[in-house]
Amino acid sequence: MILEEFKLKGNVAILSGHGQSWLTHLSAALAQAGANVVVTGPGKEDLENAAGEVRRLGRNVLAIPLHSNSSREIDAVTGQVIDQFGRVDILVNSHNLRFGKPFLEVSEEEWRRVLEANLISVARSCKAIGQQMVKQRSGTIINIVSGAGERGLPNGVAYCSSMGGVIQLTRALAMEWARENVRVNAVGIGWMGNGIQEGAKDPILSYIPARRRGEPEDITSLVVFLASQASSYVTGHVYYVDGGVMARG
């Protein structure tokens, strides 16, 4: 039997992000749980795939391509969503610009790009869409971050800082909006299965206690949990889904 608390019946979810391969999985998961879904992002093809999946499941969908990720564009998204659905219940931010370079070689421009893509864009999206949630006095925000936001990585100074920034954004905003009944949490993901060619030796695998990399399905059920009433007393926390990496030494 499925607890009613997990169901997202009639909820409106917005997905905002770039650089993630699981946009379609995430849209499908939220739709399967009962939500209507708004997908936004730069990749036209990704948006179409995700929208098609939601439609196939019989939910309403809105696909909004973003070009610059500017606050004007995001504000326009909020307007469009309110016009269409009248409300917004769930925001999932999944911004991941991957970057690795020795610290001494990182230019100011690269710093700016990484912080802009991974941190400031999340703040912008929380502001534009969270504004509506505060007005409604209900909503839940889920920021997807890498475990590198909590731990260090050589060549990862800029990337780790950007992800750590999102974790702190999550905690501070959760404190600020707790009385507004808007919950803010993060999903910390481990080493995902993308980017490794079949047959090639995986340098990370033996580091992961579960001895496998994460798959989109591993992430989506935690997102649904945090998006739903099942987590009504959870705010300000990072929940990791990483096969045990954060527990190990």
Residue from 153, 175, 204, 205 binding other proteins (CB under 8 A): 175
CA angle at 31 for the pair 221 and 238, rounded to the nearest 5°:
35
Cα-based distances in Å from 244 to 87, 128, 208: 37, 34, 7
Which of these segments, 12-20, 108-116, 120-128, 168-176, binds other proteins (CB under 8 A)? Answer: 168-176
Closest alpha carbon to 58 in 92, 81, 89, 35? 35
> What would you measure as the largest C-alpha separation in the chain, in angstroms?
55
68 binds other proteins (CB under 8 A): no
235 binds other proteins (CB under 8 A): yes
Give the nearer residue to other proteins in terms of CB position, either 3 or 104.
3
Give the nearer residue to other proteins in terms of CB position, either 44 or 137.
137
Exposure on the CB side of residue 201, measured as CA atoms within 13 A: 3
Give the nearer residue to other proteins in terms of CB position, either 153 or 175.
175
| 197 to 216: interface string for other proteins, x by CB under 8 A | ------------xxx--xx-
Which of these segments, 58-66, 81-89, 173-181, 195-203, binds other proteins (CB under 8 A)? Answer: 173-181
- What three-state secondary structure class fits 19? coil
The residue whose two tokens read 């399905």 is 217
**Contacting residues for 68 by C-beta, under 8 A, at least 6 apart:** none
- Establish whether 239 is a catalytic residue: no
Q: Is 206 exposed, middle or buried (0-12, 13-18, 19+ CB in 10 A)?
A: exposed
The encoded tokens of residue 218 equal 């591993």
224 binds other proteins (CB under 8 A): yes
The encoded tokens of residue 70 equal 């500017």
| 9 to 48: interface string for other proteins, x by CB under 8 A | -------------------xx--xx---------------
72 binds other proteins (CB under 8 A): no
233 binds other proteins (CB under 8 A): yes
CA 40 to CA 42: how far, in whole Å? 7
* CB 195 to other proteins: min, Å: 18
Give the nearer residue to other proteins in terms of CB position, either 99 or 191.
191
Give the nearer residue to other proteins in terms of CB position, either 7 or 127.
7
**Length of the chain in terms of residues written:** 249
CA 96 to CA 163: how far, in whole Å? 9
The contact set with other proteins (CB under 8 A) reads 1-3, 5-7, 28-29, 32-33, 171, 174-176, 178-179, 190, 209-211, 214-215, 218, 220-222, 224-225, 228-237, 239-244, 246-248
Catalytic residues: 159
